[in-house]
């Protein structure tokens, strides 16, 4: 087992590398694929505001808590929680957070790799000129053809899972980290250019309004349709989804950030790192929204067209801009890298646990965990074709939707709730004080209040509200 100041899995060489890796984990399909499509499904502005509130009041404080637990425990999330419950003389039941995180990781990777597979398919299609001059109908048709073929989806799902396994087997800190330092800023610049394109060629005013005009009366309603013809019904679902997405996009509630926190140097500031990571993540999501919705409206598409949204809109932009063939290829390559640097963190908790508590080698652990996620992922592949029919759905959701809903909207927030309660009540104030080493007492007190009361109560209220609405 590692000592107090070093993890047996290795350490980040500096705080900057930790921030880069964690931004790599946070920024991924959640920002560029999921944020726009769920914002479209849940009606725009009101949803975005709830999401931003969740990031600030729940996400940021819990990210600080996860990093501090990781650094204190210096092991896989399960071993860390075991160690800290002993150190803090609290109930071993808190270790459940670690186990539920491992489970959530399997569920998430099992659909994440399928969507990353779509991006891989578009890399090759774009490079071959498949998007040149494409119309909105053509883009819809192309996407439909892709997801309609389970063989193609299975192929790319397999390729992406293997990519994830290979990097995790070699250790998270080698190789990919260096690549991410260059590729993340490149993705950022690319998004800025896409926003520029949307500004000139899209219906920017409408896209902007859709994202930022907040009609609070709709916050607790589920609205579908276009802004002119909205069809709304009362339900707590959008709020649950907005909160779930705050966890998903920041990689919180399942130990991924705790696992990365275990490799953080002793004296690095956790607060500063957290704010940087949360800000970068939020800006990328908003830019993605600004790039996509103006094209959605200019092309007469439905904002609520679901998981295919970016794959049906961005190709229209690439297909009709000068140099779009290469620009589009590069964009999808960068999207794949963003997904790759996230997927490795999704299985890191499980792999690190098999290594430090079960004595497996990293290679075998990575193959076992990735292999199982791959197997469960076949259900996600089939959700878009053979098993898309109603007879294969539960509560009106396909296997893909169910896995996403269960993991993102239920397991991650519950994991986050337990983490907040453990730090705030299960362990002592002294532990947090030592790890955060915030020099300004007031700032620490504010965080301490938020982590003990505001974040947990917020999570509970959102859940109760949805139970009321569903019931
Ligand atoms: N944060 C990633 C994204 O936005 O794409 C997804 C993710 C990574 C979720 C790691 C959970 C996790 F532990």
CA-CA distance, 205 to 210, in Å (whole number)? 8
Contact at 8 Å (CB) between 155 and 120?
Answer: no
Q: Whose CA is nearest to atom 9 of ligand 1?
A: 251
Q: What is the pLDDT of residues 240-250, one digit of tens each?
A: 999 999 999 99
**408 close to ligand 1 (CB < 6 Angstrom):** no
- Span from the CA of 85 to the centroid of ligand 1 (angstroms): 26
24, 30, 101: which to mutate for ligand 1, most atoms within 8 A of CB?
30
Complete DSSP assignment for 44-111? SHHHHHHHHHHIIIIIHHHHHHHHHHHHHH-S-HHHHHHHHHHHTT--GGGGHHHHHHHHHHHHHHHH
Tell me, what DSSP letter sits at residue 389?
S
**346 close to ligand 1 (CB < 6 Angstrom):** yes
**108 close to ligand 1 (CB < 6 Angstrom):** yes
The per-residue pLDDT for 172 is 64
Q: Which two tokens stand for residue 49?
A: 């505001």
CA-CA distance, 92 to 259, in Å (whole number)? 19
CA-CA distance, 237 to 225, in Å (whole number)? 16
Diameter of the chain measured on Cα atoms: 65
Instruction: Kindly report the three-state secondary structure assignment for every residue of 142-192.
Output: HHHHHHHCHHHHHHHHHHHHHHHHHHHHHCCCCCHHHHHHHHHHHHHHHHH
Contact at 8 Å (CB) between 222 and 233?
Answer: yes
Q: Whose CA is nearest to atom 11 of ligand 1?
A: 251
Q: What is the pLDDT of residues 242-277, one digit of tens each?
A: 999 999 999 999 999 999 999 998 888 999 999 999
Mind listing the domains of the chain with CATH numbers?
Answer: 15-470 (1.10.4160)
Contact at 8 Å (CB) between 455 and 252?
Answer: no
**77 close to ligand 1 (CB < 6 Angstrom):** no
Q: Whose CA is nearest to atom 7 of ligand 1?
A: 251
Residue 110: closest CA among 379, 414, 355: 379
The per-residue pLDDT for 238 is 86
CA-CA distance, 344 to 464, in Å (whole number)? 33
The per-residue pLDDT for 142 is 97
The per-residue pLDDT for 344 is 93
- Span from the CA of 342 to the centroid of ligand 1 (angstroms): 6
**220 close to ligand 1 (CB < 6 Angstrom):** no
The per-residue pLDDT for 220 is 62
- Span from the CA of 349 to the centroid of ligand 1 (angstroms): 13
Q: Mean pLDDT in each 10-residue stretch from start to end of the chain (471 residues)?
A: 65 86 95 96 91 97 98 96 96 96 97 98 97 96 97 98 92 68 86 93 95 76 66 77 96 96 90 96 97 93 92 93 90 93 94 95 96 98 96 92 95 97 95 90 95 97 73 48
Ligand 1 atom showing the smallest separation from residue 255 Cα: 13
**139 close to ligand 1 (CB < 6 Angstrom):** no
**80 close to ligand 1 (CB < 6 Angstrom):** no
- Span from the CA of 312 to the centroid of ligand 1 (angstroms): 23
- Span from the CA of 253 to the centroid of ligand 1 (angstroms): 10
**31 close to ligand 1 (CB < 6 Angstrom):** yes
Strands 221-224, 231-234: pairing is antiparallel
**248 close to ligand 1 (CB < 6 Angstrom):** yes
Would you tell me how many other CB atoms lie within 10 Å of the CB of residue 371?
A: 12
- Span from the CA of 117 to the centroid of ligand 1 (angstroms): 16
Give this prediction's pTM: 0.94
CA distances, 184 to each of 19, 191, 335 (Å): 12, 11, 9
Ligand 1 atom showing the smallest separation from residue 256 Cα: 13
Query: Alpha carbon 451 to chain centroid distance?
Result: 21
The per-residue pLDDT for 235 is 72
CA-CA distance, 56 to 404, in Å (whole number)? 23
């Amino acid at each position: 087992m590692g000592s107090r100041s070093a993890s047996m899995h290795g350490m980040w060489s500096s705080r900057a590398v930790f921030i880069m890796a964690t931004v790599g984990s946070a920024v991924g399909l959640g920002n560029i694929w999921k944020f726009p499509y769920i914002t479209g499904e849940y009606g725009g502005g009101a949803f975005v505001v709830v999401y931003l509130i969740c990031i600030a009041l729940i996400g940021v404080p819990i990210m600080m808590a996860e990093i501090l637990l990781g650094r204190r425990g210096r092991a896989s999330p399960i071993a860390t929680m075991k160690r800290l419950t002993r150190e803090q003389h609290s109930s071993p039941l808190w270790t459940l957070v670690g186990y539920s995180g491992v489970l959530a990781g399997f569920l998430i990777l099992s659909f994440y790799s399928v969507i990353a597979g779509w991006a891989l398919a578009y890399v090759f299609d774009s490079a071959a000129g498949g998007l040149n001059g494409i119309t909105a109908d053509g883009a819809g048709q192309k996407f439909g053809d892709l997801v309609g073929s389970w063989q193609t989806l299975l192929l790319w799902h397999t390729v992406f899972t293997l990519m994830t396994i290979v990097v995790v087997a070699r250790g998270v800190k080698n190789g990919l980290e260096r690549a991410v330092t260059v590729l993340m800023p490149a993705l950022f610049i690319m998004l800025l250019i896409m926003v520029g394109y949307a500004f000139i060629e899209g219906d920017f005013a409408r896209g902007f309004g859709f994202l930022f005009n907040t009609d609070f009366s709709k916050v607790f309603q589920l609205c579908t349709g276009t802004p002119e013809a909205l069809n709304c019904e009362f339900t707590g679902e959008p709020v649950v989804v907005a909160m779930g997405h705050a966890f998903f996009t920041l990689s919180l509630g399942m130990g991924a950030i705790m696992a990365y926190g275990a490799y953080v140097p002793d004296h690095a500031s956790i607060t500063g790192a957290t704010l940087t990571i949360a800000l970068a993540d939020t800006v990328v999501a908003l830019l993605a929204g600004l790039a996509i919705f103006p094209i959605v409206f200019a092309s007469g598409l439905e904002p609520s067209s679901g998981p295919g949204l970016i794959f049906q809109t961005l190709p229209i932009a690439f297909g009709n801009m000068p140099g779009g063939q290469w620009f589009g290829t590069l964009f999808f390559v960068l999207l794949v890298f963003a997904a790759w640097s996230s997927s490795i963190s999704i299985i890191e908790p499980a792999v690190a646990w098999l290594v430090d508590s079960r004595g497996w080698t990293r290679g075998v652990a990575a193959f076992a965990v990735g292999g199982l996620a791959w197997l469960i992922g076949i259900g996600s592949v089939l959700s878009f074709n053979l098993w898309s029919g109603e007879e294969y759905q539960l509560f009106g959701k396909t296997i893909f939707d169910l896995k996403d809903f269960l993991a993102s909207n239920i397991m991650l927030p519950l994991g986050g709730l337990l983490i907040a309660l453990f730090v705030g009540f299960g362990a002592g104030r002294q532990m947090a004080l030592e790890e955060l080493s915030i020099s300004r007492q007031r700032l620490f007190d504010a965080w301490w209040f938020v982590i003990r009361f505001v974040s947990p109560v917020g999570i509970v209220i959102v859940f109760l509200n949805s139970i009321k609405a569903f019931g």
